[in-house]
Structure 1
Amino acid sequence: MADPWQECMDYAVTIARQAGEVIREALKQKMNVMIKSSPADLVTATDQKVEKMLISSIKKKYPSHSFIGEESVAAGEKCVLTDSPTWIIDPIDGTTNFVHRFPFVAVSIGFVVDKKMEFGVVYSCVEDKMYTGRKGKGAFCNGQKLQVSKEDDITKSLLVTELGSSRIPETVRVILSNMEKLFAIPIHGIRSVGTAAVNMCLVATGGADAYYEMGIHCWDMAGAGIIVTEAGGILMDVTGGPFDLMSRRIIAANSRALAERIAKEIQIIPLQRDDED
């Protein structure tokens, strides 16, 4: 049987490229920066423009499909995942990077059917790297097949994580304490590029051995999640349980053993789920 979603994936790649062009152009202009949930949670007119462009293009082509978009949710739309084919979109993952012209900015498009990830497209547009993953078909970057690293010794691992946009002192304390615990195992190092989607894609390339974070959203993870698993990696909840796209937390690692070892060290930050009011 022909792959029913391949056409959707090809279309996602096309529009992610178009969105990337808009973003690259906007990087040359003066920006209008607004604040969302905290002084470090930023949004720009370009985020809103790109999301509108992506969703209206897809709606025209696939009118029966559902959508979850970061800026639509910020504007008050409900974040509900049903069984219907759903496009989960982050127009600019790495808005703070975008504002500062720090060169890691990604368009992330995830496609979920029956609540399961079918494909993901992450376009790191300043680097011009197109990451793709399709269930059962592998993961690629600019056409080159991706494979996670083989490193299963945590003391020889390189991890990626983010400090996040919350400035609540207790949350910041837990984030830093988790980094300190992992750092002192010891591990080779911890890196941050400022976008969850690119961090996860770096795990898929084998450049990093694992990524963990709490406080992100489904639109940060839906595109890159399947790229990690199709490159041979694993997604897990920070508790060590099964990964849940709406839980706002993740460990993406090259192996179950490494993911479980990270979960053992992490103190949980209580968060409201994406699908809760």
Structure 2
Amino acid sequence: MENHSEDPWQRAYDFAVEVARKAGEEIRKAGESEIKVMTKSCIVDLVTKTDERVEKIIIGSLKEKFGEGTHCFIGEESVAKGEPCILTDKPTWIIDPVDGTTNFVHRFPFVAVSIAFAVNKQLEFGVVYSCLEDKMYKARRGRGAFCNDEPIQVSDVKDIHKSIIMSEYGIDRSPDKVNKIFTTMQKILCIPVHGLRGSGTAATNMCLVATGAVEAFFEIGIHCWDIAAGAVIVQEAGGILLDVDGGPFDLMSRRMVCANNYIIAKRIIKEIDVFTARRDGAPIPKQ
């Protein structure tokens, strides 16, 4: 019989990879069969249905495997329905069932399933399955990071002029936020850097930092479920995580820079025009 007392989370880690693959297959099927026959007006419903269905598959499978009530869950869809978004010391799964829903609708080829696991508020492992590319990124704390079982590592570029930087525009289209985002991008582009990119999914962007394809990714306004799994993968690939003001990374703060090293991260932080985003789990002010 297997002895899991030595290593309590290996079984959970292996199972998370299995569940991510199953969820990814579900997303691919929905994309192939349903988007083709839909008018644009129905697509929003499809996205919601797919998100909800995939999250149910993930959380349902985890509850069945580990027993109802033993673990906590923070899932994008459940939070949208009013479930609390609070990270406690209990074993907690942090899930984004479909990261890149706009991509999914347009068949832009980056859509990810993101599953992370934290205990005592410490991230233990992360799994990101980029399901349209069929790339399985995964990492456990202290054990390295992998893509399709091959070890991955951040790039060794230290010269900002030779870097590619990633960011996203976020969903808040208020002119003042958009101005700040573009001011930041303009300043970074004019350093100058080799390029600015965005895949449309935070989880995938972080995995691209981890594989060394790009040097850094930053964003304000993301949620814990977008970045929790990627955070483990980046760190285990040798990268670093910081707040956009250069302070320590805080999973619930909705702001992050991840990079291959401190030199690149600090150089980018100098250019970021910071704006506020309400913390995950913070009470919504009454109107």
Gaps of 5+ in 2: 36-41
Structure 2 distance, partners of 1:97, 1:268, is 26
Q: Output the TM-score relative to the length of structure 2.
A: 0.92
Aligned residue in 1 for 2:38: none
Shift of 1:84: 0.6
Confirm whether residue 102 of structure 1 aligns to residue 108 of structure 2. yes
4+ runs of 1 displaced by more than 2 Å? 29-35
Match of 2:63?
A: 59
Determine the structure 2 residue equivalent to 1:30. 34
How far does residue 43 in structure 1 lie from its aligned partner after superposition? 4.3
Residues in 1 aligned to 2:193 and 2:237: alpha-carbon distance in whole angstroms: 23
Is 1:195 aligned to residue 201 of structure 2? yes
8 Å Cα contact 1:67/1:88 also seen in 2:
yes
**Counterpart residue identity of residue 34, structure 1:** V
Report the alpha carbon displacement of residue 69 of structure 1 after superposing the two structures with TM: 0.1
The one-letter code matched in structure 1 to 2:172 is S
- Confirm whether residue 150 of structure 1 aligns to residue 156 of structure 2: yes
Partner Cα separation in structure 1 for residue 207 and residue 180 of structure 2 = 25
Q: Distance in 2 between matches of 1:138 and 1:54?
A: 24
Cα distance, 1:30 vs. partner?
A: 2.9
Q: Give CA-to-partner distance per residue, 1:207-237, whole Å, 9 cap, x none.
A: 0000001111000001111000000000000
1:130-170 Cα shifts (integer Å, max 9, x gaps): 00010010000001101100001111110111111111111
TM-score where L is the length of structure 1:
0.95
Tell me the residue number matched to 2:252. Answer: 246
2:39 counterpart residue number? none
Q: Secondary structure at the match of 1:44?
A: helix
Which of 132, 145, 150 does residue 126 from structure 1 map onto?
Answer: 132
Residue in 2 aligned with 1:85?
91
Residue 33 of structure 1: CA displacement?
Answer: 3.3
| Cα displacement (A) at 1:182 | 0.5
Is contact 1:33-1:45 (8 Å) kept?
no
SS at match of 1:275: coil
Q: Radius of gyration: which is bigger? A: 2
Shift in alpha-carbon separation, 1:68–1:245, aligned structure 2, 3 A? same
1:235 aligns with 2:241: yes
My pick for the range that moved more, 44-53 or 199-208, is 44-53
How many residue pairs were aligned?
271
Cross-structure match for 2:281: 275
- Note the alpha carbon deviations across 1:151-199, whole angstroms, 9 max, x for none: 0111111011111111111111100110001011111100111000000
Amino acid at match of 2:217: Y
Shift of 1:61: 1.6
- How far apart, in 2, do the equivalents of 1:269 and 1:59 lie? 38
**Which sections of structure 1, spanning at least 5 residues, go unmatched?**
36-41
For residues 170 and 10 of structure 2, the distance between their equivalents in structure 1, rounded to whole angstroms, comes to 34
Any idea what the Cα deviations from partners look like across 1:57-85, whole Å, max 9, x if unmatched?
11122230000000000111110000011
Aligned residue type for 1:271 = A
Residue 49 of structure 2 corresponds to residue 45 of structure 1: yes
Deviation per residue, 1:79-110 (Å, 9 max, x gap):
00000110000000000000111110000001
| 1:4 shift after superposition | 1.2
Counterpart AA for 1:100: H
Is 1:207 aligned to residue 217 of structure 2?
Answer: no
Other-structure match for 2:82 = 76
Instruction: Check whether the contact 1:97–1:194 (CA below 8 A) recurs between aligned residues.
Output: yes
